[in-house]
Each structure stands twice: as structure tokens, then as C-alpha cells.
Structure 1
Amino acid sequence: MSDHIRRNTQHVSCQNQLKFKYVLTDSWFCSNENMRYIKHNCYKNFVMACKSNRLISLSEGDKRHKISQRVDTLEFQKGQSVKVWIAGVDFALLLSKEVFKNRDGSTGELYLLCSDLDCSDELIQAIYQKRWNVEVFHKSLKSNAGITRSSVHAIRTHRNHQFLSIYSAFKLETLSLKLNLGKFGFKAKLYMKTLKTAFTELQSLKAVSA
């Protein structure tokens, strides 16, 4: 999703008075333009993952004098976020660091920028964790509902495809919860059932034509 489409989505969400407090993004969308747009145009706060080489200043004076450092060189106290400034952004931010273990046992680090200066470090990380459910839903949209596999060109037809894909993903979610099956497991079971039905029908047609 491009920055333009993302900002347009945020604008429509605000225009439709959709109730939300924070915009969550990965580091791909952690741009100064997006930060300013969310804060000044949507009047909302955000929590964004940022890259470890992002340059930050530790005071407004340092920012004015272009004194900055990479976020991965900053020392953090456990459970505390740091107030920082970024060139090109006209408001202060909170920088939070999360340390986690990967499946292979290695250690990873996640840096988060938050525009809500009243947030605690724990709350910043808790808010950002909610984004994972959105990622899972997007994966289901692409893998199970085929939202990206549209060959149409007309805007109206494309919108219909988008809507029906989202509706299908929600329907799949509802059914998988009722049957206590994972979405991908439910899809596989449904697919096998369809193949068996088609094979039975084929055998019937062969018997008739024999």
C-alpha cells in the first residue's frame, strides 16, 4: 500500500467518523510526511516502528543545531521511553525499545515512535501489539480471499471485488471460530470437500456416458 493510498484511507476513516485513537504502522510507512499528516490532518496519534538507523535528537536545541544520533546507539532504562525530536517533524515523540527473542534463539530489537507523550513505555508496546491481528487479517485477505488476484480494470468492478473479498474473509473467520478450526485449516477442509464433490460428479457423468 503506497503512502498516498494509506493517507487517503486515514482521511476517509476520519471523514466517516470511525472511532479510533491510534494509527499503527510498520517501519515501511514511518515517514515524516505520514507523521505530520496523522497528527495535523487527522488529529490522531500514532505508534510506528522505525528502523534502527533512524536519526533522532535528544532535545529541541540539538535538533536546531542538527545534532543527532542513531536510535540503536541510545541507552534505554528498562521500562522507560525517551523523549526525542526528528528533523522534519514539528512535534516531540516518545521512543520505545522492545527486546524479544526469535524462534532460533537470537535476540531482536524493535524501536517504536509514539506521538502521544502521555503514554507509558508499557502502554506503547501494548498498543503496537494490537497491530499483529491486522497483519493476520491481511494475510487471510490475500491467501484465502484472493483480494490481490483481480484481473478487472473498471473502478466499480474492482471495488466490488475488494468488498466481496473482505466480506469473504469475515465470513471465513466466523465459520472457523464456530467450527474451532484455523482459517487455513478450514479453507483446506472446504477445498477438499469441493474436490470430492466435483470428482463424484465427474464419475456420475462418466457412468451416464458409458
Structure 2
Amino acid sequence: MMTCTLDLYTDYLLSSTGPTTATGLSRLLDGALSHDHVTRWLSQATYGPSNIWRQAKPLIRQAEARRPADEFAVLLVDDSVLEKAHTDANELVCTHWDHSQQRYVKGLNFVSLLYQAGALALPTAVELVRKTVPVYQPKTGKTRHQSPFTKNEYLQQMLRVAQQQVAYRYLLADSWYASAENMHLVRALGHHFVFALESSRTVALSEADRAQGRFQPVQALVFPDTQPLHVYLRSVQAAVLVSRQVSTNQYGSWGVLYLVSSDTDLDHAQLTAIYQRRWKVEEYHKSLKQNASMGKSPTKTLATQATHLFAAVLAYTKLEVLKFKCGIGHLRLKAQLYTVGLKAMYHQLGQLRA
């Protein structure tokens, strides 16, 4: 009888185009591995950020050795919610605020820290948001649960660990993570940040203005020749750089994005180019859900749900390895696997009809 392993399970996640179940894996292996054995493995295996780093480290070290001297690495942080509307609630599967959709959704919330350099984008750590602390609501008379750590605190913990693991120049994040505490930590660790900034965030145009409490919202600033401004935030001692970007879509609608950086030597084009690298974290989330079967498992217990999620992240790392080996992206790799499966089914159908 075969033994279920992480390598076997992640290969199953990458091969699958439908639900990923213990029974499905057993059938795939012609019963050589029982579905009960897969379920026990999912229940008993324990994976966490250290496993993610252990798998990412060799590829990152190779990238560091090959990287040209004029290129630099960045870290990207973001969280995502894997929706599980029809799964029983627990401390993992519960109501979370999804800031990408600007609404509450039921599912698993996880925070990822990615290393990005050139074509490489690898998670170095992932934390699952568990709501375990009961909080009584006097207005409703009900008790709800919250996480003992905020997503910003998860980031700060991951950055302290990453300090011993990788070299990088900037931390990139959306406005959710643009707190003064995060800015202070990044600078204390010897790095710079480039964050999106809420338009209502207030700044002073000089140290004298800050000392006298003369602040104005970022959206009221005037940017001469589109160049960034040197301004001062309330709780950040050193001057920061703020820029304004206006974008228009194909339908004629336009939007404004404000960026803030501790690197005051950047110009508008450099600041924009650096922040555009944050898009890699969106591609990472998409690939996890579409190519690594993150949302395809009907697991119902805390242990099996956590194991499956971490396995999907590790399956993503396998895809990154294959991407460099084969020279094609995740979606094309998955499409090739799907085509091979279709051909096998087509030939099998012909044999059955013969």
C-alpha cells in the first residue's frame, strides 16, 4: 500500500481540473492509496511558514546568484480570502473583510509575503487568520470572534523573520498596510517601502507645518509637472515622497492612485515602475486558486483545511520551478496538462467503442 506524502498530494493538486478529494486521489492511483489514508494524512500533517520557506529557499538562492548587479528584489505583502460560502463555520472558515471586493465574505483569510525578482515570484511565508478570541457586542447582545493578531501584526512578524532570509530593497503593499508602524519597521530593518495611500490621509508640506499642526489631505495636494512631493506624515519623523497617478480605462472612466515611499530620491517614473511590480501578488493569488486547486477541496475540519491550503501554496512553488524549466507560465502549464488528459480520455473512449 502506498503512503500519502506532500509531494504526491501537491502533484495531485496540480494535475486536477475538478474537485480534489481523498477518494479522487485514491481512484487516480487505482486504489494503491486508500482514501482513508489520504484523509488521515490531511488530518495529521502540520505545515506552516517554515515549510514554505524551506521549499522556496533553493530557487531564491539561484535567482540571487544569477541576478544582474543593477537589478533588485522586492517583497510584496497582501491577503486574500478563499470563499467558502457553503462550508460549516469554524475559526478558519468565517466572515472576513475582503478589501479587494469591499465587502464581508465567508471563507479562509490568509496573509502572504512574496519575494519578487525578475520573473520569479515566490511566497516566503503564509499565515492563516484564525478568529479564536470571543468578543462580546453590547449593542447586539451577541458574541463574535476575532483574530488575536491583526493582518499588520502578521506582516511585522513575517518581516522580522524575512530579515534573516532574503535581501530586498523595497516592501510593496496596498493602502491596508500603509500604517506608520509598518513604515517604521521597514526603515528600522534597513529597507524602503512603496505603499498605496488613502486619499484622505493627511500630510504637512514642511516640518514647520507639521510642528504647528497644519495638515491637509493628500487629495488636496497640487503636483507640479506630475512630479512627486516631499511631505511629512503625522507619525513618521522623516520626510516621505508622495506621488499622484491618474489612469483611464477603455470605457473612459478614470481613477487616482496615491503612492508613498521612504526613498525620496525616486522620480515619478521610478516610483510607478516599482509599485507596478506589486501586481505579481495578484497573479499569485489567481494561480493559487486556478492552477493549484486551492479552492477545490471539500475539507471540513480545521486540520484538513489548513493542510490543504498550505499544500496548495507549496504546489504553487512547484509551478514556479516548472515555469523556469519549461519556459512557459502557470496557465499554459496547466493547459498542457489538461490537453494531455483530454487526449487520454479521447483515446480511451475510442477503445471502449471499438
Instruction: Give ranges in structure 2 of 5+ residues lacking alignment.
Output: 1-110, 112-150
The one of 98, 101, 111 equivalent to 2:245 is 98
- Rounded to whole Å, the distance in 2 between the matches of 1:146 and 1:116 is 39
Aligned pairs for 1:9-20 within 5 A: 9-16=158-165, 18-20=166-168
The answer as to 2:144 corresponding to 1:7 is no
Equivalents in 1 of 2:325, 2:164: separation in Å?
35
Deviation (angstroms), 1:191: 4.2
Matched, 1:56 2:203: yes
Deviations 1:138-187 (A, max 9, x none): 221233224466756459x947852x433422433555677776634543
Q: Distance in 2 between matches of 1:110 and 1:200?
A: 53
Structure 1 pair 154–90 and aligned structure 2 pair: CA distance change class (3 A): farther
Q: Secondary structure of the residue that 1:3 maps to in structure 2?
A: helix
Name 2:121's counterpart in structure 1.
none
Q: Residue 11 of structure 1 aligns to which amino acid in structure 2?
A: R
Q: CA deviation at 1:190?
A: 3.2
Q: Among residues 235, 239, 258, which one is paired with 1:111 in the alignment?
A: 258
Please say which of residues 84-93 and 168-177 is displaced more in the overlay: 168-177
Structure 1 length-normalised TM:
0.78
Q: Distance in 2 between matches of 1:199 and 1:152?
A: 37
Task: Specify whether residues 38 and 176 from structure 1 end up closer, same or farther in structure 2 by C-alpha distance, changes over 3 A only.
Answer: closer
Equivalent of 1:23, from 164, 167, 171?
171
- The correspondence for 1:36, drawn from 178, 181, 184, is 184
- The alignment-based identity, stated in percent, is 35
Q: Partner letter of residue 134 of structure 1?
A: V
Matched, 1:73 2:220: yes
Pair 1:7–1:105, CA change in 2 (3 A):
same
How far apart, in 1, do the equivalents of 2:350 and 2:152 lie? 52
Gaps of 5+ in 1: none
Would you say the 8 A contact 1:56–1:86 is kept in 2?
yes
| SS of corresponding position for 1:15 | coil
Q: How far has the Cα of 1:102 moved from its partner? A: 1.7
TM-score, scaled to structure 2: 0.49
Distance 1:153 1:176 in 2: 32
Q: What is the CA–CA distance in structure 1 between the aligned matches of 2:300 and 2:169, rounded to whole Å?
A: 36
Whether the 8 Å contact between 1:79 and 1:122 is mirrored in structure 2 is no
Instruction: Quote the residue 1:47 is aligned against.
Output: 194
Q: Secondary structure at the match of 1:117?
A: coil
The two structures, once aligned, show a CA RMSD in angstroms of 3.1
CA distance in 1 between partners of 2:163 and 2:247 (Å)? 34
Deviations 1:23-55 (CA, angstroms, capped at 9, x unpaired): 000111111121112112x22110000111111
d(CA) in 2 for partners of 1:199, 1:30:
53
CA distance in 2, matches of 1:182, 1:101: 28
Do the aligned residues in 2 keep the contact of 1:48 with 1:114 (CA within 8 Å)? yes
Q: How many residues align?
A: 202
Question: Partners of 2:201 and 2:344 in 1: how far apart?
Answer: 55
- What is the identity, as a one-letter code, of the residue corresponding to 1:121? H
Greater percentage in helix: 1
Contact map agreement 2:294 2:308 (CA 8 A) in 1? no
